[in-house]
Amino acid sequence: MHITIRQLQVFEAVARHLSFTRAAEELHLTQPAVSMQIKQMESSIGLPMFEQIGKKIYLTQAGDAMLVHARTIMRHLEAASEEMNDLRGEDSGRLRVAIASTVNYFATQLLADFAKENPAVEISLDVTNRESLLSRLEANLPDLALMGKPPADLDLVSESFMDNPLIVIASPDHPLANARRITLADLAEAHFVVREPGSGTRVAMERFFSEQGFPYQKSMELMGNEAVKQGVEAGLGLAVVSAHTVEKELTLQRLVQLDVDGMPIMRRWYVAYRKGKRLSPTAEAFRRFVIEAGARRSEPGS
């Protein structure tokens, strides 16, 4: 069996996305080039890695087994490269950061501030929802990730750096906009605009409502924070969002924060990376930068 490193990279991307098109976009290849790499790999192994059912592709049993080995090999290769750089006293000067979409509202400013202090660093930013972010971390694609609390079953090193309060928002003309001490019972007839499945904010909201025995009513499911904010502003319903995502809208009074008992839901932001990963000097510098920036932002009056 003869498999190239490039074939493993292409295979892992297709397996992660379950899409030849999305893998091609990520790797900056044409779709025929991706298909050719997979065909050559399957020919060498003697087994199909994928099967197509309808319009969707799925990993075969052989593909599932090969994905485990592919990711292990890629992690070892990256670790070897990092160790060789350390021995040469070199830093690649590249930084790959993956962030949950909700973090994007302040993470871009963090990256901009870091870039000003480190103008030679080449930064790659990947913004996605929590589910996709965890998949990228599992594949060891980013150097660091900024996200909500990582799951215990994923082998990560993580450190919290800032509060992430979740609040209930409404349009200014909503009947409850000026109410005080609103109970969940008062929201029984309200409809909620929610994020797509895989969103960390939605998971936290549904967990909180479930613990409180509150069967909320969903009016619409929208992709991304911007769509949710626009939906609430248009009067489609209430929403639970990170306070960081609506600072501008609250200041401009385009949205209002409801005074709901038991809210905000207090969460934390974390900087995380795969356990055993050797952070480059650039990645380690950014990790420290994030922790220090979070501490400054949490200071009274900041």
pLDDT (tens digit per residue) in 234-276:
999 999 999 989 999 999 999 999 999 999 999 999 999 998 8
Across 103-132, average pLDDT? 88
Q: Confidence class of residue 298 from pLDDT cuts 50, 70 and 90?
A: low
DSSP string, 124-136: EEEEE-HHHHHHH
pLDDT value of residue 141: 87
pLDDT (tens digit per residue) in 157-179:
999 999 999 999 999 999 999 99
Judgement on whether residues 294 and 213 belong to the same structural domain of the protein: no
Average pLDDT of the chain is 89
Across 55-70, average pLDDT? 94
Across 43-50, average pLDDT? 94
Residue range(s) defining the domain that contains residue 72: 5-87
- State which of 72, 87, 102 marks the end of a domain: 87
pLDDT exceeds cutoff 90 at 290:
yes
pLDDT value of residue 302: 47
pLDDT exceeds cutoff 70 at 4:
yes
pLDDT value of residue 94: 85
Judgement on whether residues 111 and 250 belong to the same structural domain of the protein: no
- State which of 87, 102, 132 marks the end of a domain: 87
Q: What is the pTM of this model?
A: 0.66
91-100, 116-125, 127-136, 255-264: which has the minimum mean pLDDT? 91-100
The contacts of residue 107 (CB under 8 Å, 6+ apart) are: 97, 99, 146
Judgement on whether residues 253 and 178 belong to the same structural domain of the protein: yes
Q: Confidence class of residue 104 from pLDDT cuts 50, 70 and 90?
A: confident
Residue 270 CA to residue 145 CA, distance in Å, equals 8
Judgement on whether residues 228 and 252 belong to the same structural domain of the protein: yes
Judgement on whether residues 128 and 9 belong to the same structural domain of the protein: no
pLDDT value of residue 294: 86
pLDDT exceeds cutoff 60 at 90:
no
Specify the number of domains making up the chain. Answer: 3
- State which of 47, 62, 87 marks the end of a domain: 87
Across 188-194, average pLDDT? 93
More confident residue, 121 or 87: 121
What CATH number does the domain containing 256 carry? 3.40.190.10
Residue 61 CA to residue 70 CA, distance in Å, equals 14
Judgement on whether residues 170 and 262 belong to the same structural domain of the protein: yes
Structure tokens at 300: 């009274």
Q: Confidence class of residue 221 from pLDDT cuts 50, 70 and 90?
A: very high
Angle formed by the axes of helices 281-298 and 104-117, nearest 10°: 120
Phi, psi of 23 (to 5 degrees): -65, -40
What CATH number does the domain containing 64 carry? 1.10.10.10
pLDDT value of residue 280: 85
